[in-house]
Structures are given as C-alpha cells and as structure tokens.
Amino acid sequence: MNSAVWHLAAFGRPRLLDPSGQPVRCEVRTLALLTYLALEGPTSRSRLASLLWPETVEGSARNNLVHLLRRVAKTHHPDLVQVGEAVALGQALTSDVAPWGEVGASLPAPDAVPTGVLLDGFAFDDQPDLAEWVLAWRERVDQARAERLSGNATRAEAEGDLAAALQFTRRLLDLDLLSEDTHRRLMRLLYLSGDRPAALKAYQRCREMLERELGAEPLPETRDLARLIEQGAVGAPVPAAPRIPLSVLRPPLLVGRAAEWAQMEQAWARGQSIMLVGPAGSGKSRLMHDFVASKGVAFRLEGRPGDRAAPFSTAARMLRRVLDRMPPGVEVPGWVMPALAPLVPGVPADLTGNRPDPHMTEALQMMSAIAIQVEGAVAAVFEDLHEVDAATTDMGMAMLANHFPLGQPGGLPHFIGSFRAEELDPHARAVFERFVTAGHSVWIDVPPLDEADVGRLVGSLELPGLSARAEELARFSGGNPLFVLETVRHMIERGALDEAQPLPLAGKVSGLLSRRLARLSTPALQAARAAAALQSDFDLELVAGVLQAPLLEVADAWEELENAQIVVGERFSHDLMAETLRQETPEGVRRLLNRAAARTLSAAEGISPARIAQHWLAGGQAEQAAPWLIQAGHAAWRAARLEEAQGFFGRAADLLSGHDPATAFAALARQAEVLANMDDPRHVDAVRALHQRATTPLERATAFMQDYRALEGTMDVARIEPVVHAGLAALRGAEPGLEAWLVEAQLTEGLALLAFVRGQQHETLQHLRSMAELGERTASLEWQAKAQEGLGLALSATSPREARLHLERAETLHLRRHDHLRAGSSMAKLARVLCELGEVAAAQAVVARGETHLGRLDANHGERVALLSAQLMVAQLSGDLALAEALYLRAHRDHTVEHNVLLGAFPVLHAKTLRLAGRPEDAWAEVARSRDGRPFPAHLKILRALEEAAILLALGQADRAAPHLAEAEEQLREVPNVAWQARLHSLRAAVQGDEDRHHQAAAVAIRELHGLPDHHWSAL
C-alpha cells in the first residue's frame, strides 16, 4: 500500500486503514458515507443528508452532514473527501469496492477478488433508504464477483488447471451457498481431481444445506451427477437444462371451447359486445384471439397493472399507439389534438380558471375510429379489462352503447373483452352488468377443461410419454390450461415426462413459476423484478434506469428472460408471472425498486403523475408522493374525472398534514373546490377540516369562502350573510396578491347574491362590477365571465334587453375557458329573459344549447334544476303543455330541494301549466303546495302571488284575487321587476273590468318601454 494513501475495506467487516495499513476507529456513518461515494460517485448533499438522517428535517440533516465531513477531515485526513456542490471521494483514499461500482473499470485479478459481504454486520435499521441501498448493492456486487470467479473457473478447467478451478469454485460457493450450479461444479472438479469421496461429501453437504435452508431436495441434474460420481462415469460437464418447445408456450390447438365459441358466434351475429370471464390462466386470451382471427383483422388493446391509478391511463396508451401507427397524410380536425391535452401530464390544471375540455372523449372516440379504419379492423379486442381505469371504462362503454348493434356499416366494429371477475372493481362490474341486462352485451364464463379436453391439449404438444399422464395432469391442474402447461414445462426441466417420475410438488401455478424464476441468473432476475415493479408500459430503457445498469447489460439479461419464456417482447408472457415476481421480491428490495421506478419515471416524458405517486407510496416515501398526487389531482380535473381528482387532493392533504401544513391546506382547499363543483355532500366535511386547519388570514378566508360555496344554492340570506362577511373580515388581514384576490372575488359574488335576493338593485350591480374588476386584475376569465352572468341576472329584473347582451357575453367567456357547466347556467338565465321578451324560437334554441353544454359533463344537480325550470317555461310559452308537465315530473323524479332551492318554486310553474290547460281547480291545489312549509326561494314570492291571482280569475273568483295582488304590489316596492309590474297591472285590469283604463295603460307603457310583447305573461 502506498504510504501516503488511506484505504477503505468495505467487504467483510468494514474498516478504514491508515497509510501504514492499520485500522483506525471510525463512525458507522463515516464508513457508510465513504462506501456510498465509492460506489455511486459524486452525490448531492441533500441526497446524502436524507440517506444518513432520514428522520431529521432537511436543514438539520444537511447541518449534520457538514459536521460529519469536518470530523472526517480533522480526525483522519482532509483529502479523504472532496466537498463542493456535490460530495465525492478524495485522492487520498482508495477502496476495494470502487472498481465494482464503475462501469468499464478494471476489476481485480481473479485471485484478488475480495471475499465477504459488503458492509457486513451493518444493519442501518434507523436508515431504511440506506439499508435498502446496501441490500441492492450487495446483490449487484455479489453477482459481479460471481461472474468473475465463474468465468475464471471455467477457463482454468478448460486449460486443465483443476487446482485453480477448485480454488475459484470454492470462493464462488462462499458467495452463494444455495447455488446448485456451483455445488455441481465443485462435485465434478473434485471427482476429476481424483477425490471421489470428497465429491460425494460435497453432494451430501449440498443436500443437507438445501433441506435445512429451503426444505427442498436437490434438482434432478444434481442427483444425477451424484449417481454418476458413485458409478465413476463423470467425464464432461452436465449439459444445460433442455429448451422448452414452442408448442408448450402456444399449443397448436384450441381445445374444449366449442360451447363458448358458439355463444360468441350468436353474440357476434346480434351485434353484442362479448365479455369472456374467468380466472387467471383459464384460456380467455387464446379463445378471444383465435375467434377474432377467424373473422379478420383486430385492433388490440389491453389493461395493465397500475392503470387504475390514474384516469384515462389505458386510453392514453391507446392514443400513443394510434399516433405511432397513423400513416402520413391522415387529416385530423384541428380541435382534436388540443382536446386531448389533458392526457398529457405535466400541465397543472387551474381550478379557478380553465375547465376540462368536454370534447376530449369525442376526440378519443374519433382517434379510435381512425385507428380502426386505418387497420381495417373488424373487431376491437381488449384484454384484462379488470386492470382498466374507470374513466376509460366509462368512455369505452358509452361508445359501445351509442353504436349498438356493433359491426354495422358506418358504426363501430365488434368488441370482445376479457377479465377476471374476482378482480373487477364494483364500478366496472356495475357498468358491465347494466350492459348485459340491457341486452347490449353477453357475459361468457370460461370454465376449466374437463379430463378429455386436457387429454387433447396434452396430445397436441406431441411430447414423448406425456399423453399417458393426461388423466393425472387433469386432476393435478384442476383443468386450468395455464396450470397444465406450466406443469408440463416444469416436468421437461426436471426430466420427469415418463410415468416413473412424480408430478412436481407445487400447490398452485405460482409455485411452478417460482421454480422457473429460481433458475434465472441474477442479472435476469433483477431485470424481471424491475419490470414487475414498473407494472405497466415498461421498456428496456426504463428497466435499465430503475437498476441503474448499462443498457447493453440489461439487454443481455432480457434475452435470457425471452429464452426462458418469462417475457415476450416488452411485456410478461403472462400477468401471473409479474404477480409472482412482485410477491416473491423481498419487501426491502421491493420498496427500493419502487423508489427507483419513481425516480426513473419522473425523468421520463408522458408518465401519469398518479403512477409516479403510486410508486413513491409503494416505496414507503409518502412525502415524495404528495406533490405527485397534487399533480394527479390537476390531471384528473382536466380530464373531467372529478371523483378521482378530489381523491388525489384529499390523499395529498392527509400525507402532508404532519410536516407541511401550508401545502396540506392548499391541497385540502382544492379538494373542497372539486367537491363543491360536484355538489357532493362530502363538501361539508372538507369545509369543516379547512376551518380546523386554517391558521393564516388567507386560509381562514378560504374556509369561509367554501362555506359560502356550500350555501349559495340555498339563497338563504340568514345563513349566507355571516359567512361572507366573516370571510371578507379575515381577508383584510391577508397579504394582497393573486390568491387573496380570487378568494375576494368569490366572496364578492356572495355579496352580490345577498343584494339580489333582497331586491337591492344598485348594490347588486355595484358588487358585480367589483367582481368584473377583480377578474380583470387577476386576468381570470372565470370571474370576468361570472360577472357578466351576474349582471345579466341582475338586469333581467329591470332591463331585460340589456340583460340579454350580458348573458350572451357570459356564455362566450365561459366557453373560452371550456366551462360548459357555467355556460349551461348562463343559457338557463338567458332563456328566461327571452321568454320575458316573447322570443319563442330564440328561447327554444337557447335551452337546447344549455342542454348540450350540461350534457357534456357530469354536471351538478343545481344547474340541471335551473335549466329544467327554463325549459319548462319555454314549453309553456310555445304551447307544448305536455312537455311542460313531463319536465315537471322529471325534475321531481331526479332532484331534491337540497340540489337547488328553485325546485321549491316548481309547483307554481306546474300550476301555470294546469291553468293554461284549462284545469284551474288542479292548478289551485298545486300552487297551494308551495305554501305547505317546504323551502321556497324568497325572490320568487311575487311570482307565486301573481299566479295565485291568475288562477282565481280563471276560477271566476276575482274577489279573492285582491289580497294576492296586494301582496305582489307590496313586494314589488321592495324588489322592482318590470315584467312582473306589467303583469300586476294586467291582472288588476282584469279584476276591475273594462272601466279600469289606468292599469291597462300602465301595462302597455311598461311593455313598450322595455320591449315586452303584448298579452305578456311573466316567466321570471
């Protein structure tokens, strides 16, 4: 050793040696730090601090690292470590591990390969990330040492140097006592060296060790070698395990599915979608693909593990496939790709600004149709529907429903899907069962094969001696085709095809798969584990990124996996293979792989943030998952999947509450906003949590603002007023800025609503203009649009023609931000104004637009009630009283007054329908229901009084109308409304007869001034 250089010995019991070769006392963290730098190279301070002090806040952990580096420099040598932006080993330190961590480095000579476990004796129980890093590097370094020693043992044996080969083999066995390959090599070399007793003793030790450690017998090839040694017949290495015939991977015949095939033919002829249902390995995919192959070309889709984590994950994969395969020259309408933007992660959604584009599902449907047309597909086949996310399921099934029956000219092609019923989530099960009940789909169970079918399957493999064991295989496998084939594969590997050998002692398919995986080399097993951890949409680059291994090394390992039929291309040969890998990967390694997957996917493009969050959570790093969950919430919002969005935001808030309360509050506020848009009763709990967590003035104002969001549909002045004023009072203590102004805009809307319900026209307009100013200040289209909508509503009472202009502007602004919910709300208000103006055709067109806007989204019940009221009024104005009655019945069937207090006024609207239909007695009974104590919107009491007077006139009881007209007149002094005022004059003229010229003239004057039609009735 150079006398000027220190040395780190990290194999075995770790030590730091001074230039004289003497060990020096050293902290465990120091040895861990030096080893990490030797293997990983220069590393950021934040990474080292989080590894060594995981339970300490970042600032304190970094401070601890500074003190540790100073102690190393002071106590040992200042050049052991170089400290800059990153930390690295200095020139004064060598180590026995550095060559094993550097790609392409010169490794030690064969006789100098170090022995011992990396950082032996160090557990790092309080540093889980570091512990799992050590575990992963132990496996990697052991594999590298094993390959080095194995190669040299092979070369020494080929050169006739059996002593050297034995030396390398014994050192190889020290690295992995469970390797039967190495035990067999040792037995053979001892025999070839002339020491048969030692070779047999080596076998005995191998057998005892396997029994003690694994409870298993040696493999057949190991037992065969021992028998040959006893007979003195060993002359060459034992040949490799036989290659599995391709017929075992895909049998040449489909057997035992005639009944299911016949059901599929019937469903195909009826244009029904076909659902093949059965457990893993039952042969659903083979049946599906063989059936479709008999019909023509198929467009192939699949769900993959992990898809359910994020809305439209499966659809996004389909979209990428379509774009990759789309030939040049195919024209796509200009609106399509912008509408698909929500499927591109990384762009935050603005809950106070742009809404999801409702054309997204239409765009996906169009891209699907283009792909099917380009490929000339007669059917779409969809494997593993139980893995598909709910958004894709809803969209796909809606497409099928809209094009039933399938396979018709100009429609969608046939559809066949497969899934495991026991793994189907309740939402998807309900959707599929609805389709079956409606006759749009057929559910076909794929049962186990019977004994005769197993015999035909086994016979089709054409393997010598296997047909005689068909009956035994049928009993052993339970008729599961995959279990049959895996058992046959294992029999081939064990040389147990003849009847003299018992079937493998495995209780289920995963037991057989485990034995296959046990035969893989360490690099191949690592690659398979990394792919299983990635779950869906992996490729070699991602696998290499997770393992932090050179791509060509991973490619070699992947070739071994393909030869072993573990993978086919860039997916597992069967999803059970991936499940077995995940189950058998040690918990520590599994967490490490998930964290590595999260880091790798974070650096890749087009990855769903929900998928990255899922990996961080599986890796035990909740604080790393939270920011990705927030991004996932924004992505779900953009995709119009509000239930998923609120779930992501809520989960992030829970994870952050302990160490980042400010960000946790912001996530909770986003959840509350989503729930408010959903009209969801859980909004109440979210608001309560906001009040409990609010600490700053802005947070308290935000909580009160969400209180107002919960109450705004009630129009209950007594409950709304205190929360609005409390929010504004809290806001006065907040720092001015974008967030504060947006909260102020929402609360100002509350002030406008209060003034409007009270009939305070001037104050209403003043608050609405303040809203518009806040919208300009924040460049928020939302508040500019809401201000226009509010002005339209407020002016509808006194200037309906001006109100019309504002509401038309509001629709335009709402649509610019893809807010079809508010655009529909504006159309409901505009339709009522047009009814006042007597423009029947325009009002009919407007309610149709409103229906289109709300129909694009799962709109909340409140806005649907408002649109129903407008549709009912338009039906009355056009004379379609049957439609008006049907709309009234639908409103009460689908909604409650909790959805919108407007529902309390529907008896008044229906009473008018009955009066116009010549049924005044029924009309009087119906209008009386509005006074039976149910909630009734205060601003519509004038309308009720006027309708009551009109009904009494129709009943010939004019004398009883006077109190109702007096009630309306008194309230109109408080809440002016030109249409209602004109209606009041007309009714007074009708009560008093032809001699009352004054009221007739007053009604005419009001109508002429405001553009109201003759013989006008009030809709508002």
Alpha helices in 119-239 (DSSP H): 128-158, 162-175, 180-192, 196-214, 220-231
CB atoms within 10 A of CB 792: 25
The proportion of the chain whose per-residue pLDDT surpasses 90, expressed as a percent, equals 34
Does residue 159 contact residue 152 with C-beta atoms inside 8 Å?
A: no
Residues 6+ apart with CB under 8 A from 738: 778
| Residues 596, 532: Cα–Cα separation, whole Å | 13
Task: Compute the half-sphere exposure of residue 973: CA atoms within 13 Å on the CB side of its CA.
Answer: 5
Does residue 616 contact residue 566 with C-beta atoms inside 8 Å?
A: no
Q: Which residues pair with 417 in a beta bridge?
A: 275, 382
The answer, yes or no, to whether residue 2 has pLDDT greater than 70, is: no
Does residue 789 contact residue 821 with C-beta atoms inside 8 Å?
A: no
What pLDDT does 21 receive? 86
| Residues 975, 965: Cα–Cα separation, whole Å | 15
What pLDDT does 1020 receive? 33
The answer, yes or no, to whether residue 536 has pLDDT greater than 80, is: no
| Residues 740, 778: Cα–Cα separation, whole Å | 10
Task: Write down the mean pLDDT value for the chain.
Answer: 85
Task: Quick: pLDDT tens for 327-369.
Answer: 777 778 877 777 777 665 444 444 444 444 556 777 777 787 7
The proportion of the chain whose per-residue pLDDT surpasses 70, expressed as a percent, equals 91
**Strand 567-568 to strand 571-572: parallel, antiparallel, or no bridges (unpaired)?**
antiparallel
**Amino acid at site 68:** L
What pLDDT does 317 receive? 81
Confidence of residue 258 (pLDDT cuts 50, 70, 90): very high
Task: Quick: pLDDT tens for 762-818.
Answer: 899 999 999 999 999 999 988 999 999 999 988 988 899 999 999 999 999 988 877
What pLDDT does 853 receive? 84
Confidence of residue 719 (pLDDT cuts 50, 70, 90): very high
What pLDDT does 111 receive? 60
Mean pLDDT, residues 313-331 taken together: 78
Q: Enter the DSSP assignment of 504.
A: P
Confidence of residue 506 (pLDDT cuts 50, 70, 90): very low
| Residues 609, 32: Cα–Cα separation, whole Å | 33
Does residue 655 contact residue 628 with C-beta atoms inside 8 Å?
A: no
Does residue 308 contact residue 339 with C-beta atoms inside 8 Å?
A: no
Q: Is 8 left (phi over 0), alpha (psi -120 to 50) or beta?
A: beta
Whole-prediction pTM value? Answer: 0.64
The answer, yes or no, to whether residue 104 has pLDDT greater than 70, is: no
Does residue 92 contact residue 6 with C-beta atoms inside 8 Å?
A: yes
Confidence of residue 495 (pLDDT cuts 50, 70, 90): low
**SS3 (DSSP) at 738:** helix
**Which of 234-238, 391-395, 647-651, 672-676 is least confident?**
234-238
What pLDDT does 741 receive? 95
| Residues 954, 951: Cα–Cα separation, whole Å | 5
The answer, yes or no, to whether residue 57 has pLDDT greater than 50, is: yes
Does residue 381 contact residue 300 with C-beta atoms inside 8 Å?
A: yes
Helices then strands, each counted (H, E), the chain: 47, 14
The answer, yes or no, to whether residue 414 has pLDDT greater than 80, is: yes
| Residues 797, 4: Cα–Cα separation, whole Å | 94
Confidence of residue 124 (pLDDT cuts 50, 70, 90): confident
What pLDDT does 502 receive? 62
The answer, yes or no, to whether residue 886 has pLDDT greater than 90, is: yes
* Residue that has been written with the tokens 């465990």 in this structure: 28
The answer, yes or no, to whether residue 904 has pLDDT greater than 70, is: yes
Q: Which residues pair with 8 in a beta bridge?
A: 16, 95
Mean pLDDT, residues 748-758 taken together: 91
Confidence of residue 743 (pLDDT cuts 50, 70, 90): very high
Mean pLDDT, residues 987-1016 taken together: 81
Does residue 271 contact residue 378 with C-beta atoms inside 8 Å?
A: no
Supply 1013's token pair: 């039609």
Greater model confidence, 460 or 519: 460
What pLDDT does 628 receive? 95
Confidence of residue 313 (pLDDT cuts 50, 70, 90): confident
**SS3 (DSSP) at 613:** helix
